[in-house]
Structure 1
């Protein structure tokens, strides 16, 4: 076949001739704002004594997940300190916190809208399918283009990559609220807002928290990938080990990510169970 589709040329022309000149200033200001938040949170977490953070984490896991996870948390925090990766761990946590908050702020309302409108649900579903099937490395390209290198594009790419579970699980949770309960709520004169805030969201909260948990896990999975565009933290340690064929360094950073993943996973699961 001799047919040729100049998609590459069209894309580059669109980006260079329209997108960057038109919205470059907006994304620059957005980048400055996100960078201020990420750097402030990172500096705060590094400033806090590691012992204080360890005690808080142990108390949380003991309350939410039991003694076994509390012991694991103690061992994990000792490990991060003993291999001198505590600052890198706090950098990773800061990026995950900001990206997860953005995902929840955008994802939960979208999930609510999708649960209330079949039209919106049909529009959002293929978009979410596209976002979840697109290779994670592809997210780095627009992030670099619009936000440069560093922690900001890491937050943006992680936010986009990790948002679909929040939307899907919120939509699913609200749709699974029993019909007889919603009908009884209407019969007692509840408005749409009252039914949403006092019936549907409380009853679907555990499902929504499961979506938040998945969002956090996806954000952690982007830690190493985002380090390729200058994201600081444990991912950069693993990337350095790969680049220098330093198996020990890569293993050290990888175990640090595993420790964070298990601790955060058990805490978020425990919050969902408690709620």
Structure 2
């Protein structure tokens, strides 16, 4: 009888233990956010100022100049006239259907998130490639970042920083950064050992081997990681709009809540157009850099 009673009470004991753990963790995080929230918010003020300035710059620049600038970047990266024509047509259609301002807002936040992901991710990937111990520590963290539902990222970030651009940037970077870290690590590890031995034989230091041999040879793989990071950042646009990030995601969210099919479709297609532009340009640049590298050898 005692055993049966213990088994009957076990689910209740388990629930009460779980409730206690949740209360403890929630209380600790609230105390942390109250004590350090302002300091952490102040730390991100320069990033917020840059993001606001960059968004205003894109919005204030006349659309013909923006089309010329984006077209110039596309052509210089890809050297493809067909891709250039496709990008210009896509941008003109975005403007014609009245989605230009939101597209520029989305472009500004995606550009900033991608730059942050590259500057944070590539050094971590290099450190992982140089040390098996660092790789064994970072890999499970990346697994959690990639498998955790995106909405879960928003909870602690919003509790700490409220709603706005910076929480959106942090959530997007957390979600999008794993591919560039993983593929930087993979690309460097795949560099032929004989090539490194030859560089060492010619008297190259570790620094020279990294920047003059390993990174150039790993560049196509790193570019694939950057490409995937951009795609994942764009995938987070709608989710980030839930915490006040303006752009193409907000009309999509509005169309979901109010059942506006056409509004959601057009803004969704604009996100797809941006994704295709980023994807094709980064892939074309990776192929060109690979051909140039082969030509050098």
TM-score by length of 1: 0.95
Q: Counterpart in 2 of 1:21? A: 34
- Deviations for 1:84-108, whole angstroms, at most 9, x for unmatched residues? 1111101001111111111111110
Q: Distance in 1 between matches of 2:104 and 2:164?
A: 16
* Structure 2: tracts of 5 or more residues without a match: 1-9, 290-297
- Deviations for 1:49-90, whole angstroms, at most 9, x for unmatched residues? 211121233333345062332222122111111111111101
Task: Give the Å deviation of 1:11.
Answer: 1.9
Q: Distance in 1 between matches of 2:258 and 2:34?
A: 39
What is the SS of the residue equivalent to 1:166? helix
Equivalent residue in structure 1 for 2:114, among 100, 103, 107:
100
Equivalent residue in structure 2 for 1:31, among 34, 39, 44:
44
What is the SS of the residue equivalent to 2:259? coil
| Larger relative contact order (Cα-Cα within 8 Å, sequence gap ≥ 6) | 1
For the pair 1:12 / 2:26, whether they are aligned, the reply is: yes
From the CA coordinates, give the structure whose radius of gyration is larger: 2
Q: Counterpart in 2 of 1:225? A: 239
Q: Counterpart in 2 of 1:119? A: 133
Task: Give the Å deviation of 1:115.
Answer: 0.3
Q: Counterpart in 1 of 2:81? A: 67
Q: Counterpart in 1 of 2:267? A: 253
Q: Distance in 2 between matches of 1:75 and 1:95?
A: 23
Q: Distance in 1 between matches of 2:137 and 2:172?
A: 22
Partners of 2:154 and 2:171 within 8 A in 1 = yes
Partners of 2:37 and 2:161 within 8 A in 1 = no
Question: Structure 1 pair 118/52, CA: closer, same or farther in 2 (3 Å)?
Answer: same
How many residues are paired up? 274
For the pair 1:145 / 2:156, whether they are aligned, the reply is: no
Equivalent residue in structure 2 for 1:55, among 62, 68, 82:
68
- Deviations for 1:237-275, whole angstroms, at most 9, x for unmatched residues? 111111111111111110110111111111112222222
Task: Give the Å deviation of 1:197.
Answer: 0.7
Equivalent residue in structure 1 for 2:59, among 46, 61, 77:
46
TM-score by length of 2: 0.89
Partners of 2:163 and 2:244 within 8 A in 1 = yes
Q: Distance in 2 between matches of 1:227 and 1:190?
A: 49
Task: Give the Å deviation of 1:184.
Answer: 0.8
For the pair 1:178 / 2:176, whether they are aligned, the reply is: no
What is the SS of the residue equivalent to 2:68? helix
Task: Give the Å deviation of 1:231.
Answer: 0.6
For the pair 1:78 / 2:92, whether they are aligned, the reply is: yes
Q: Distance in 2 between matches of 1:60 and 1:241?
A: 33
Aligned-CA RMSD value: 1.4
What is the SS of the residue equivalent to 2:41? helix
Task: Give the Å deviation of 1:7.
Answer: 3.3
